[in-house]
Amino acid sequence: MEKTRVIVGLGSCGIAAGANKTYQEFQRIMETDKLDIELRKTSCIGMCYREPLVEIIDEQGSYLYGEVDAGRVDEIIDKHIKKFTPISDYIVQSDKIPGKDQHFFDEQVKISLRNCGHIDPESIEEYEARDGYKAIGKIADKGISPDQVIQDVLDSGIRGRGGGGFSTGMKWRFARNNQSDQKYVICNADEGDPGAFMDRSILEGDPHGVLEGMIICGYAIGASEGYIYCRAEYPLAIKRLNLAINQARERGYLGKDIFGINGFHFDIKIKEGAGAFVCGEETALIASIEGARGMPRRRPPFPAESGLWKHPTNINNVETFINIPWIIFNGPDAYAKYGTEKSKGTKVFALTGKINNGGLVEVPMGISIKDIIYKLGGGITDGKKFKAVQLGGPSGGCIPEHLSHTPVDYDSVNATGAIMGSGGMVVMDETTCVVDIAKFFLDFTQKESCGKCTFCRLGTKRMLEILTRITEGEGKEGDIEMLEDLADTIKDSSLCGLGQTAPNPVLTTIKYFRDEYEAHIRDGKCPALSCKKLLTYTVIDEKCTGCMACIKGCPVDAIEGERKQVHKILQDVCIQCGVCFTRCKFDAIKLS
């Protein structure tokens, strides 16, 4: 019988939830009680809302425990490991007994995330045990030509997962057809939206998979050098990438004549970025690697013709590269069977916002937004009504509830005014003000503008000023039309994707929620009761007990009344701070 294995999820999300302490507690008890079990580490498996996660694999089966803080370790060891009695109350998934969160996995198809949560990311042996480096080995053993590799990528139908959705195989072919004595492969790991959580998790959980995808790309286009451009804010990802690169070099998977392919020399370096959102744009990223300020340049020429140091360069993001070994090893048809006619394969989404089950999910293209939110995400928190979803990151768009049947594929999402982006999905409920959300995202993109284009630099600033006025009750007639005019000009006149998509949150919220903008401007009201300066606080007479908690908390003495008598809020003094609302224990303060 094999040893019982205890596997603790130690991705960034798990560590933030206290998984390091959980691991150390398992280690302490094992040593104290001299338990003959195998304690291992893995990364995030996507169920972030249940962190810290611990999987126990024994002769009975596999059991995934959720919310295992250090205080629960002793009980799990005593009952499950010593007495072979799993604790059903803590189990979220199992192949033996029903897990309370099995629905989170039922609709998923894991290709990009196939190894995340299943291997120790710091062990090349564990990657190899799950068919790691067998795709490039297959190319070497069967003598598959670079052109055939590119054809397989084309036949799979995979499109770039970084946001633009351009054909990956076509991009590789352009780079291959441009002749040069030096070519480069770049992995863009610097997206700055919520979808970057996905990139970070893959880098932390399956770094060798990304390296193998880059190696295959290098072979296909004729490149000899690769760069992973990763923001320095991801220290764990960088640590594991460096370790993986060193392990691959020791194995001979990086270097000269790798995998016995005569003349194929390829190595990979890491370039740490400073976290500028604009460096997610490929020409700005190239400038940063070259040591210049990260600013986009006019295209053409495209990087496939003149990229890093003016040599042909292919750039894909983390999720794109992680799919490549699976496609080559299993064949393009196996990948193309998932998805829709024009959007093949699977897509990873980072679910966040007003949703019960936040985390990473990987689903076949074509699944509806509604199914992702309700079947995998567990619906809206506190039983509130689903209002909209922000898809595509800060420069994505808001898709309203009545379009939640929209299938997740590039063309259908684009038709709504949103974009696929790198997979950020922010869920909103009825208490979310879309005007405030538009302001929030535009504030981010405005600050992240590199300033090169006048319309992006100043146009987004003017739009932000208008949105701020509207949310503070100072909106005026014509503001909506001015926002639309500015947005269209910025989209048409900006050089890169950041400026071209920055107005999307504003345009889509105006398109689908124009009445909320009008309520802010014409009525001085926020329908979602979210914008503080547009709120009116009043006392509900029949509920007020005269406890004086609100009076004691009010910072401007805007409430009057005697003890055990109904209080009154002086509207001309009230500053809408909300202290009275939070202090009242009898729900006697009404918002309107």
Neighbours of 300 (CB within 10 A): 8
Burial of 321 (0-12, 13-18, 19+ CB in 10 A): buried
Q: Which CATH number fits domain 434-523: 1.20.1440.230, 3.40.50.1980, 3.30.1340.10, 3.40.50.1820?
A: 1.20.1440.230
- For residue 353, give the nearest of 445, 442, 430 by alpha carbon: 430
For residues 317, 319, 321 and 326, what is the CA-based torsion angle, rounded to 10 degrees? -170
- For residue 24, give the nearest of 54, 58, 48 by alpha carbon: 54
Bridge partners (DSSP) listed for residue 537:
591
C-alpha R_g of the chain: 27
- For residue 189, give the nearest of 211, 158, 156 by alpha carbon: 211
Structural class in CATH, domain 5-101: alpha beta
**pLDDT value, residue 448:** 86
| Topology classification of domain 346-429 | Ubiquitin-like (UB roll) (3.10.20)
What does the alpha-carbon distance between residue 559 and residue 586 come to, in Å, rounded to a whole number? 16
What does the alpha-carbon distance between residue 547 and residue 271 come to, in Å, rounded to a whole number? 61
**pLDDT value, residue 208:** 98
Say which residue the tokens 């193309």 belong to: 336
Bridge partners (DSSP) listed for residue 360:
350
| Topology classification of domain 535-591 | Alpha-Beta Plaits (3.30.70)
Phi-psi region of 204 (alpha: psi -120 to 50; beta: other; left: phi over 0): alpha
| CATH superfamily for domain 124-336 | NADH-ubiquinone oxidoreductase 51kDa subunit (3.40.50.11540)
Positions of the chain with pLDDT lower than 50, given as ranges: 194-195
Strands of 540-587, DSSP E: 559-560, 568-569
Strands of 44-86, DSSP E: 54-58, 61-65
Q: Which amino acid is at 450?
A: C
Counting other chains too, the contacts that 540-547 makes at CB distance below 8 Å and 24 or more residues apart are: 540/587, 540/588, 540/589, 540/590, 541/566, 543/586, 543/587, 543/588, 544/586, 544/588, 545/586, 545/588, 547/585, 547/586
**pLDDT value, residue 194:** 47
**pLDDT value, residue 495:** 87
Neighbours of 456 (CB within 10 A): 27
- Per-residue pLDDT tens over the stretch 197-226: 788 899 999 999 999 999 999 999 999 999
Residue ranges per structural domain of the chain: 5-101, 124-336, 346-429, 434-523, 535-591
Strand order in the sheet with 313-317: 267-273, 225-231, 184-189, 313-317
Q: Which amino acid is at 265?
A: H
Bridge partners (DSSP) listed for residue 93:
64
What does the alpha-carbon distance between residue 48 and residue 37 come to, in Å, rounded to a whole number? 26
- Per-residue pLDDT tens over the stretch 117-161: 999 999 999 999 999 999 999 999 999 999 999 999 999 999 998
Token reading at 467: 């949105």
- For residue 113, give the nearest of 253, 9, 19 by alpha carbon: 9
Main-chain dihedrals φ then ψ at residue 8, nearest 5 degrees: -105, 130
